[in-house]
Structure 1
């Protein structure tokens, strides 16, 4: 890393992280990284070439096949991963502040989220220790058992909204399984990924196990996903990006875990407290400035409480404090870029044009002292029909809609009227209804009377256009291995298929 001075602002210049160190990228096309709260350039990163990506992949392959990492005992690896978790924890204050500066989330949100991440690694270290292969009863005098071997090099493309959290969902399983990785963070938010690679290397992670390549998704991300030597692709991003990258990775038959777009329905039944439903709605819709794949973006509210819910959510949204992400009083920061702010504004206009009723926001937000930042008002549209664009399409900003329903069947019909199926939420005190709706809704994750909750033991992923595969849990851990079946004959009887016709009792 080097630093340059521009108008009294220090701008860090970073290179890729390969073989345990940052690589100086002389002559590379450089990309500006901006603070979304101020619009100021805070760093520059290279747009990696195919050769740059290939260098990182060769490093990861060498580490995977080398004795230091590839030959490491499982218990030694688990102890190392726990040391990495401790190192992560020791550097949390630095990581909080760097992530807040880079992606604009309020410091209170960033601190609460990143504090969870060391336990991701501890959980997967535990899985590594607890792993057992199977002995399978089979017909005849045979012993059949399985052996699992790490699949190899994992390519991981991460988004801007939760840079460290989403990267760590994959990285923890990669390390615990004995694989290696090349991470391509979003060009908007590369700084904490680079910092964590440095922290882990200093804590003892062997060189080449965790490499980072930088650049645009359409260039370095594409080169990574289509690289002939990847064994698994993990990508969190938009559905179109997942389709492109997944198609490329399928050509080399790489395993895939893709967490893509979402349009989360939130079903609010009239037996649930309206004030609590409104509080949960605000949390689900506006945490992270709504830039989450599981943002509570479609609120389906029973007709009998619809007007009350609409009135109270409007008041709640209008009262959210938008401002400086480093101010502890701030409740919502900026969106990631001017481009993303324009996208949110375009959907606000779609809502007005289609006849929905704007009850909160719908405009850019002005923050004193941060006039160049990318702030948006928390936005709520009511009286939204299922054929409207704001009901069907992902906005990815502080934007939610409200639609009335009559009964449980109507609520499910509206909830499932979407090609997406990542998250869903149910607000009800009726136990049987909660389980019925959770069963029948098309989603990979369902929250009952809550939102946005995750745990490293709980599988995470979607259905439909929201992707394939699962992160977290034993599902993710197991998908980092190839399974080998070993069949051992347990008798000494001679066998001669061609010379003993009478012995041909069984072929398979």
Structure 2
């Protein structure tokens, strides 16, 4: 099935162009980059590679549209109508988007269907926020009417990663547009195609010229000058912690707001009162969905010692049953990692883990029966892992997890919190009181109880520590795409003559 897709796509080898000021165009330099199918290693298209010149053009278009008021100054109700039209178009084109994203990033079609099908509702949710938003009237001392207005920021830079191109974009694009901002989107150079298609649907829905702009290209050539641009008022970035740190510094130089969703080292804590099958199924889902290429993946599975050996045995059986292969085959459960470079990095981390004493429970090799040329790795589990090992501390971003024992509740909490990351964790227990107690002590931005990977447009998404700053989705995200303006109205009909000779007491503030 992959081969058929490649034939149909490669007959024209599409080029992901830029979209600036209402027009698709090539970069000023004319430079292009190849786009690779990670399941086969074959070229499936190209992208037009932007640089600083193109970034400046895109930011200017976004700024001009914002200042014109064509989107920023219309009512929330009118913006909501456009976003709801877009959500309907998004939904009507889901089948095409499923297949295009699977082709581009290698996720099994069953995963892209399950994830992308929910995304139109993100735009509906934020359309509802825009439609129903009310400014606050705040009681203050004295004869004054005091109210707070939330106003859009201006130009927002939205930079997304390869692992969930449409989902990550939707989390920030929906609130950015709902609040009246103009945007410049910079997708990963590895997965540009679904973003281009989404922009086409936005145009069809009626987004005004210049409000949405798209630049493709390398992070250092397009992403860095975008984050550094003085006219960008907010930067949203999803990716690695060190790149995020650099982007955060650039944004801080011109006092831009920022939301950075960065690395993670998720902990899945399993207590001995949990049904073993449920625990194994939950841990497998947490660790290997998206080939482990998610910042919230369950890359550390902490199991109470009394069931540790039983868990290892059952977990090995489960992991060995996971089917890797052609992402377009509905039976495939695990796709490739994104690139040869990524695969090489992961394999080096596995060698380091072995050298440090970790033992392989299963996996750990490049499979010989996977599609030829693809960047596949067997689903891999390590045990006899100690907290100080690299594999227990650093993000792998691949289908790799470790299983570590703990004795008591406090041990599990200490191990889980013992990393520089704090994005997501899961707690598996049938003890209701313990589940809430443990969740309250975990230094993570998101905690799931008897579940993992759950996302909703109404729920804030983000982490603590080196996992980033700010929140995507939820009311928090809606408000973070705005700035507050306080308006105070003297309702007495009189003005104090401060400089009169009268000794009458006067109020200064």
Give me the TM-score of the superposition, normalised by structure 2: 0.96
- In structure 2, C-alpha distance between the alignment counterparts of 1:261 and 1:128, rounded to whole Å: 31
State the partner residue of 1:446: 447
- Residue 269 of structure 2 corresponds to 267
Q: Is the 8 A contact 1:104 1:335 kept in 2?
A: yes
Q: What CA distance in whole angstroms lies between the structure 2 residues aligned with 1:426 and 1:500?
A: 71
For 2:449 and 2:275, locate their aligned partners in 1 and report how far apart those are by CA, in whole Å. Answer: 14
Contact 2:27 2:49 in 1 (8 A): no
> In the alignment, what sits opposite 2:346?
344
Paired residue secondary structure (2:302): strand
Where in structure 2 are the equivalents of 1:247-262 lying within 5 Å? 247-262=249-264
Does structure 2 retain, via aligned residues, the 8 Å contact 1:20–1:198? no
CA distance in 1, matches of 2:323, 2:97: 24
Cα deviation, 1:356-385, whole Å, max 9, x if unaligned, reads 1101111112335x2110001000001110
TM-aligned CA deviation for residue 501 of structure 1: 5.2
Aligned twin of 1:400: 401
Paired position in structure 1 for 2:43 = 41
Q: Say if 1:367 and 1:375, in contact at 8 Å, map to a contact too.
A: no
Alignment map for 1:46-445 (pairs within 5 Å) = 46-368=48-370, 370-445=371-446
Do the aligned partners of 1:36 and 1:336 also contact (CA within 8 Å) in 2? yes
Deviation (angstroms), 1:247: 0.4
1:8/1:221 CA distance change after superposition, 3 Å: closer
Measure how far apart 1:72 and its partner are: 2.2
- Asked whether the equivalents of residues 60 and 209 of structure 1 are also in contact (C-alpha less than 8 Å), the reply is yes
Shift of 1:494: 4.1
- In structure 1, C-alpha distance between the alignment counterparts of 2:51 and 2:197, rounded to whole Å: 22
Post-superposition offset of 1:209: 1.5
Out of 24, 27, 47, the position equivalent to 1:25 is: 27
| TM-superposed deviation, 1:426 | 0.3
CA drift of 1:315 comes to 1.2
Greater alpha carbon shift after TM alignment, 493-502 vs 440-449: 493-502
Q: Which residue in the other structure is 2:3 paired with?
A: none
| Conservation of the 8 A alpha-carbon contact between 2:199 and 2:212 | yes
1:451 Cα offset (Å): 0.4
Post-superposition CA distance 1:20-71 (Å, at most 9, x none): 3310336422211100001011111132111100111111112212243233
Match of 1:495 in 2: 496
Q: Give the deviation of 1:115 after TM superposition.
A: 0.2
- 2 CA distance for matches of 1:208 and 1:271? 57
1:15–1:45 contact (8 Å) kept in structure 2: yes
The answer on whether the counterparts of 2:9 and 2:44 sit within 8 Å (CA) in structure 1 is no
2: CA distance between counterparts of 1:8 and 1:393? 38
Aligned in 2, Cα 1:134/1:117: closer, same or farther, shift over 3 Å? same
Q: Which runs of 5+ in 1 are unaligned?
A: none
> Structure 2 vs 1, CA of residues 9 and 348 (structure 1 numbering), >3 Å: closer, same or farther?
farther
Shift of 1:317: 1.0
**Is this contact kept in 1: 2:36–2:44, CA < 8 A?**
yes
| Gap regions ≥5 residues in structure 2 | 1-6
Say whether the 8 Å CA contact 2:126–2:478 is kept in structure 1: yes
* Alignment coverage as a number of residue pairs: 503
Would you say the 8 A contact 2:73–2:180 is kept in 1? no
Cα distance between partner residues in 2 of 1:51 and 1:354? 47
**Separation (CA, whole Å) in 1 of partners of 2:316 and 2:130:** 48
Distance 1:67 1:378 in 2: 51
1:495 to 1:29, Cα distance in 2 relative to 1, 3 A:
same
Change (3 A) 1:60 1:494: closer
Give the Å deviation of 1:93. Answer: 0.7
Tell me whether 70-79 or 121-130 shows the greater mean CA deviation. Answer: 70-79
State the shift of 1:128 in Å.
Answer: 0.6
CA distance in 2 between counterparts of 1:8 and 1:114 reads 24
Off by >3 Å, runs of 4+ in structure 1: 5-10
| TM-score relative to the length of structure 1 | 0.97
| Residue 490 of structure 1, CA deviation | 1.7
For residues 29 and 350 of structure 1, the distance between their equivalents in structure 2, rounded to whole angstroms, comes to 38
Deviation by residue 1:85-134 (Cα, 9 ceiling, x = unmatched): 00001111111000000000000100110000000000000001111111
Secondary structure of 1:502's aligned partner: coil
State the Cα deviation string for residues 274-330 of structure 1 (Å, max 9, x = none): 111111111111100000000100011100000011111111111110000000110
Provide the aligned C-alpha RMSD in A: 1.5
| Structure 2 counterpart SS, 1:286 | helix
Q: Is the 8 A contact 2:26 2:48 kept in 1?
A: no
The CA distance in 2 between the partners of 1:360 and 1:11, in whole Å, is 39
Quick one: distance in 1 between partners of 2:289 and 2:487?
Answer: 50
Moved more, 8-17 or 276-285: 8-17
Q: Where does residue 460 of structure 1 map in the other structure? A: 461
CA shift for structure 1 position 8: 7.1
Contact 1:157–1:221, Cα closer than 8 Å, also in 2: yes
**What is the alpha-carbon distance in structure 1 between the residues aligned to residue 494 and residue 50 of structure 2?**
61
Change (3 A) 1:97 1:430: same
Farther-moved stretch of structure 1 (464-473 vs 309-318):
309-318
